[in-house]
Amino acid sequence: RTVPSVAYELGNLRFSAGQYAAARAAYDVALQRGATGVIAAMARAGVARTWEAERDFARAAEAYGALATSLEPRSFLYEDALVDQARALELSGKKAEAVVIYQKILKELPTAKRSDDVRSRLASLGIAVP
């Protein structure tokens, strides 16, 4: 077991206990100690989830955006990272930015598993969708 994977697991334990700042610190250790691949992506997602759990939606949106940027569109986490980013943007009051991300999902991922949810969110924001 490597330091990044152990730090990631510690982050998950802290998150489950509601210790969001401690979880974020553990996820950051995983990233700083050279996490790669899935562990790095999941640690970045963990950081974003901690901000969202603390209701700091602006930081959550930024962290989800950084996660999405670090992924290839074919990654199993890419769609979720974008949807999560858009949701956090909405919750932080940045509805126009959320619309841009939702539209990006439909454009880049026409067969997205959550496309119905994305269309619903766009409609609720007053945006006509095809």
Segment 60-100, tens digit of pLDDT: 999 999 999 999 999 999 999 999 999 999 999 999 999 99
The reported pTM is 0.93
Nearest CA among 43, 3, 1, 52 for reference residue 25: 43
For residue 18, is pLDDT > 90?
A: yes
Distances (CA, A) of 109 to 37, 38, 44, 79, 117: 22, 21, 21, 8, 13
